[in-house]
Structure 1
Amino acid sequence: MTAPPAEMGEWKRHVADKLERRKASIPKEWLIPAIPDNQTDVSAVPYTCGLLTEKEIEITDVPDVSILLQKLASGVWSAVEVTTAFSKRAIIAQQAVNCLTEIFIDKALERAAELDAFLKEHGTVMGPLHGLPISLKDQICIKGLETTMGYAAWIGKVAEDDAVLVKLLVKAGAVLFVRTNVPQTLMWGETANNVFGRTHHPLHRRFTPGGSSGGEGALIAMHGSVLGVGSDIGGSIRIPASFCGLYGFKPSSNRLPSYGIVNSLDGQESVPSSLGPLSISLSGVSTLVRTIIEAEPWRYCPNTVPKPWSQDEFELKGLGGGKKLCFGIMWDEGSMKPVPPIQRALEMTKKALESAGHTVIDWQSLRHAEYVTVARSAFLNDGNDDFNASIITGEPLIQSMNPDEDPSYVAPWRVPRPKATAYEIWQLNKERRALRKALLDRWEATSAQTGTGRPIDALISPAGPYTAVPHGHVRSSVYTIIWNTMDYPSLVFPVTKVDPALDAKPIREDFWSEDDKFVYDTYDAEKFNGLPACLQVVGPNLHEEQVLGIGAVVEAALKGI
């Protein structure tokens, strides 16, 4: 990466210049009338703004990524047509919810034209992602483009090479066209920074789409993209996916290649982050993961596990073909009780699985506070040195995401800690190792309950105690972060939506924690009406294919009811 000198105190001028350059990258004919500030639901704007043709609406409304890939491969829709349609819809989404950072449509259309010419000349696709527009979180480097990751000090940093993941996506025939917004530092379940501002939820602009891959979540929820790549160190893929009603997958930390990306806490490997997809469909998630693994990423990224894609594992051949599985179900994690629509989603999923011939047994919360403590200790061990090194231009560090609160207010769990010694970090790693062993033993011990002779095949859990919430109201990400600490793959999937007739707020007088009471007080069935309610399915470390295959079983069961 290269960067021009950054003058102290001039960060606002650099931000203004960056925003002007982003604005200039939008074709003027794609600008739409300003959306009134009091219009909170902007999900219908793509249909009412007049920018998209009927065919472009048909293309971008495709319900499944596999359908889009089939039409591209057969030539029914050209790559230029598809790229144009999604580029226009992405620009609409940007004007509605502020989700984009880098816009490079001209390059994308050139790439799409090359793919169309290849298909015409050879009669076959360039790769399994031929012609598919894919969006990327603003930390995945593309040669020649800036990667600011929401830091003013990083404006002007131009990538000298593509990240390994970018190279493999391009080789597979993908069309990269936009990058998406993130929170400053990445370490938030919401999305806002001092460079690009705040990203909003398409169904309610006073609500957050989550974070840190919040720009991806908002963009895909508006069908400005059908498949994107984010990262997850504590829920940063799964929180936006669950808030926005999408599929989102956090693989084990070293299954997909991360070399060449920029990151917060870069070098911290006690609880490492994972790259993974968000999509409108499970086929999009599975196709991307399979495509990248089949490209043998360990040949280009030194920390990627050299485990080839297993189609047998994906098809659950070692689990009776997925006919009679046994699931654990975790109703809560013990510190924050899920709100009614999440509880109903759990009940619906259990009923659907049992109706499809599967078994579901209860999984009791145990030692989750320890998982969270280990992760937070790992993230805060540097005494804020990493964050401080990234705001050298005088840009303030955002400490609160609440728009009605002083952004410098420091929540107790974000208070910087004294720097840990090497010895203390070693002890933390030993504690994590012991927790992982305890969870493995506990998982294996369920063999006595499942009736299959195997331990549970997967665990069903809330992805969080709530649906999307108003800006500034995200609390502890314990439901997701526990699986980062354990390094287990996890797939978020949509189940239902908030329905005031079914999800009335119960009367509670006793609460498990301050956060539990905050979640309860925040929930309002009428205000939250129509927001997606999602869950996650979790499996053992490095069993990505199995989790994706089981995700298909769960999806089929839910469709059955």
Structure 2
Amino acid sequence: MTMARKTLLICSGLTSVLILRWLAHSIIKRQKKAKNEQKKLKAQSKRAEQLNNLKAELKQFSFEKSEEILNLTVPELLEKLIKGELTSLQVVSTYQKAALASHDQTNCLVEIINESKELCNSPIQQGQLLYGIPVCLKEDIGLKGYTTCFGCAKWLEQPLIEDSVIVKVLKHHGAIPFVRTNLCQMTLTYESSNPIYGETLNAVQNDRSPGGSSSGNGALIGSGGSPIGIGSDMGGSLRLPAHFNGIVALKPSVGRVSSKGCKPLFPGREINPPAYGPQGKDVQSVVSLMKALASNIMYELDETIPPLPFNNDLYESKKNFRIGYFDFNGVFPAVPAVKRAVEHTKNILSNKGYEMVNCSSWHEQIQFQVGVELITDHTLIDGCKEMMAALDNEELDASFQQFIGFLRMPKFIQRLIAHMVSLSDQSTGRILAKMINRDASVTKLFEHGRIKQEYKEKIRSLWESENLDAIICPPCGVYAPPPKKYMNAVGPATTYASAWNITNYVAGVVPVTTVNEKDEKDLDQYLESNKSNPLAKLTCEGSRGGVGLPVGIQVITPPFREETCLNIMRQIEKGVKY
């Protein structure tokens, strides 16, 4: 056999092997996608069956006290439940019916928790702080027998074998987890949809976004379908839905509430873990939930949590707080309604005798966009390998398609896009550049830690120099925009929230006003004043037609000062009239 023939045979053999490997890989990929599609359809069918069964079941109940129940705060509900004026079955059934109506309006539910009716039969125990109170759970809160899938079909049908510590604490205090709520795919955007359970809509205007990633909780509570709920926040995921849907939320410091038993999106990453915290219809209800969470039973169940029971003296303190304020963070100019909310809140607190400190120059000394860039750095620290692996063979939500498409582009095209974007939006351009120059080295980790420490030190130094107890500022530079196009465009507006995650400061949101017609008219001046900002036009387009939408204020306090944050939020809520 000639050398040429041998070479031809070898090349032919190698080519055949490569073709066969490619075919095998393609077949396996198609099989995995088909399996994921089957699991998705099964989950959708299960949800539809659950909802229909519950609707049929509730027809046998009398709801003569439903209006009374739905209008009560959690402390008021608890008082009537303890006195026997209401039963837990009455309360839960009323909120189940309300949750179904909310779901029909907003598509906020993932599952009905079947065991909720059984929990209604439990007698009240001494010291229970939430006896008979329905609680909604974001899908990533670990619940025995239920799956946390983050909107990815591959993680369906993997039920947890044990309740998370959060759920154990809730049940210990007599609370009744009754529904699980929707979130955005991978909980990594501020959108509200995933390919399995679809898109959740805003509670106030259904053509608007409810924010994310705790979108289901925001829409459900905002439309009256639950008094309180538990969600998570890694960059604003509790606070944006509160701001967009007109509810209250608290992002505690990481370490105040246990994460044990909640499935982590990226196991092993402790640089910027999510904070788990409460959302509710009003401050009192959120305080009731926080009191139960920050109780001795949590520290018994999770020895890694420092024993810091809720300090009611701090919450009830009459101290003359010194509170800073600003309405611009140097990254994104807030729209008129959001700026007015800051001024309105400042006046409320000033009238109560608190000392207000103008911190409008802080952005000249602190680059607040560094906070969100650090979070992005953390997410991409491994070169997005874990994220890409998680999304392999998955149907991508529309909010993820552009992002993943960008990551799959050749490097020279990525650099060109990043450069073009930076010409009009430096903050987003820097984030894209970091995505391109991904480096998972130890050096990168050290650099990340150094920048984070410097950022935290600058904030701490300014805070101490002003001797502040708290700061008020926007939760986001805009109120609820329409989804997709406008949500993608206003990423820099969310830096008002995400800037505080990396510092582990406490952050709460409480509604203070609604968009009025003057706010709409003032958008013309906003556009003129910010015409050099390429996002200004899109921001105005997304903001128009928003009369009546809620606008919140964000209250920031130092780490582990949740009681002080809630105290100030309570004072704001008392002074609000809209």
3-state DSSP class of the match of 2:86?
A: coil
Paired AA for residue 328 in structure 1: G
- CA RMSD of superposed structures (Å): 2.6
Paired AA for residue 25 in structure 1: Q
3-state DSSP class of the match of 1:66?
A: helix
Flag the 1:468–1:268 CA change in 2: closer, same or farther, 3 A. Answer: same
Alpha-carbon contact 1:336-1:519 (below 8 Å) kept: no
Alpha-carbon contact 1:152-1:391 (below 8 Å) kept: no
Deviation at 1:368, TM superposition (A): 0.8
Paired AA for residue 76 in structure 1: E
3-state DSSP class of the match of 1:130?
A: coil
3-state DSSP class of the match of 1:259?
A: coil
Matches of 2:345 and 2:309 in 1, distance apart?
31
Matches of 2:533 and 2:143 in 1, distance apart?
44
Flag the 1:406–1:491 CA change in 2: closer, same or farther, 3 A. Answer: closer
State the match for 2:384 in structure 1.
Answer: 384
Deviation at 1:372, TM superposition (A): 2.2
Matches of 1:503 and 1:204 in 2, distance apart?
16
Alpha-carbon contact 1:147-1:154 (below 8 Å) kept: yes
Matches of 1:302 and 1:379 in 2, distance apart?
27
Flag the 1:429–1:197 CA change in 2: closer, same or farther, 3 A. Answer: same
Q: Name which of structure 1's ranges 245-254 and 358-367 shifts more when overlaid on structure 2.
A: 358-367
Matches of 2:117 and 2:54 in 1, distance apart?
16
Q: Please say if 1:479 is aligned against 2:489.
A: no
Alignment identity in percent? 28
Alpha-carbon contact 1:400-1:407 (below 8 Å) kept: no
Q: Return the TM-score normalized by structure 2.
A: 0.83
Q: Name which of structure 1's ranges 507-516 and 468-477 shifts more when overlaid on structure 2.
A: 507-516
Alpha-carbon contact 1:247-1:491 (below 8 Å) kept: yes
Q: Summarize the alignment of residues 108-127 of structure 1 with structure 2, pairs less than 5 Å apart.
A: 108-114=116-122, 118-119=123-124, 127=128
3-state DSSP class of the match of 2:576?
A: helix
Question: Matched residue pairs, number?
Answer: 513
Matches of 1:246 and 1:181 in 2, distance apart?
17
Q: Summarize the alignment of residues 48-197 of structure 1 with structure 2, pairs less than 5 Å apart.
A: 53-62=63-72, 64-104=73-113, 106-114=114-122, 118-119=123-124, 127-197=128-198
Matches of 2:182 and 2:63 in 1, distance apart?
27
Q: Name which of structure 1's ranges 171-180 and 142-151 shifts more when overlaid on structure 2.
A: 142-151
Flag the 1:253–1:79 CA change in 2: closer, same or farther, 3 A. Answer: same
Paired AA for residue 511 in structure 2: P
Q: Please say if 1:530 is aligned against 2:548.
A: yes
Matches of 1:489 and 1:18 in 2, distance apart?
36
Alpha-carbon contact 1:384-1:416 (below 8 Å) kept: no
State the match for 1:350 in structure 2.
Answer: 346
Alpha-carbon contact 1:192-1:401 (below 8 Å) kept: no
Deviation at 1:205, TM superposition (A): 1.9
Deviation at 1:503, TM superposition (A): 4.2
Matches of 1:423 and 1:294 in 2, distance apart?
40
3-state DSSP class of the match of 1:215?
A: helix
Matches of 1:516 and 1:537 in 2, distance apart?
26
State the match for 1:40 in structure 2.
Answer: none
State the match for 1:509 in structure 2.
Answer: 528
Alpha-carbon contact 1:257-1:297 (below 8 Å) kept: yes
Matches of 1:502 and 1:8 in 2, distance apart?
50
3-state DSSP class of the match of 1:337?
A: coil
Paired AA for residue 557 in structure 1: G
Alpha-carbon contact 1:135-1:225 (below 8 Å) kept: yes
State the match for 1:421 in structure 2.
Answer: 441
Alpha-carbon contact 1:169-1:292 (below 8 Å) kept: yes
Q: Return the TM-score normalized by structure 1.
A: 0.86
Q: Summarize the alignment of residues 393-412 of structure 1 with structure 2, pairs less than 5 Å apart.
A: 394-398=393-397, 400=399
Unmatched 5+ stretches in structure 2: 1-29, 408-427
State the match for 1:549 in structure 2.
Answer: 567
State the match for 2:246 in structure 1.
Answer: 245
State the match for 2:33 in structure 1.
Answer: 9
Deviation at 1:203, TM superposition (A): 2.2
Flag the 1:554–1:203 CA change in 2: closer, same or farther, 3 A. Answer: closer
Deviation at 1:154, TM superposition (A): 0.7
State the match for 1:470 in structure 2.
Answer: 482
Deviations 1:91-121 (A, max 9, x none): 12122211111212x411111122xxx24xx
Which protein has the bigger helix share?
2
Deviation at 1:350, TM superposition (A): 1.3
3-state DSSP class of the match of 1:271?
A: coil
State the match for 1:199 in structure 2.
Answer: 200
Deviation at 1:7, TM superposition (A): 4.9
3-state DSSP class of the match of 1:491?
A: strand
3-state DSSP class of the match of 1:485?
A: coil
Flag the 1:78–1:240 CA change in 2: closer, same or farther, 3 A. Answer: same
Alpha-carbon contact 1:52-1:88 (below 8 Å) kept: no
Alpha-carbon contact 1:206-1:470 (below 8 Å) kept: yes
Matches of 1:314 and 1:357 in 2, distance apart?
17
Paired AA for residue 470 in structure 1: P
Paired AA for residue 252 in structure 1: S
Flag the 1:327–1:227 CA change in 2: closer, same or farther, 3 A. Answer: same
Matches of 1:516 and 1:305 in 2, distance apart?
45
Matches of 1:382 and 1:397 in 2, distance apart?
21
Q: Name which of structure 1's ranges 354-363 and 296-305 shifts more when overlaid on structure 2.
A: 296-305
Alpha-carbon contact 2:119-2:176 (below 8 Å) kept: yes
State the match for 1:452 in structure 2.
Answer: none
Paired AA for residue 208 in structure 2: F
Matches of 1:361 and 1:137 in 2, distance apart?
37
Deviations 1:443-482 (A, max 9, x none): 0101xxxxxxxx1221000000111110112222201011
Deviation at 1:510, TM superposition (A): 4.7
**Higher radius of gyration, 1 or 2:** 2
State the match for 2:330 in structure 1.
Answer: 334
State the match for 2:321 in structure 1.
Answer: 325
Alpha-carbon contact 1:181-1:213 (below 8 Å) kept: yes
Alpha-carbon contact 1:336-1:515 (below 8 Å) kept: no
Deviation at 1:541, TM superposition (A): 1.1
Q: Summarize the alignment of residues 439-458 of structure 1 with structure 2, pairs less than 5 Å apart.
A: 439-446=459-466, 455-458=467-470
Matches of 1:311 and 1:269 in 2, distance apart?
30
Alpha-carbon contact 1:52-1:89 (below 8 Å) kept: no
State the match for 2:371 in structure 1.
Answer: 371
Matches of 1:379 and 1:248 in 2, distance apart?
24
Q: Please say if 1:500 is aligned against 2:500.
A: no
Matches of 1:438 and 1:220 in 2, distance apart?
36
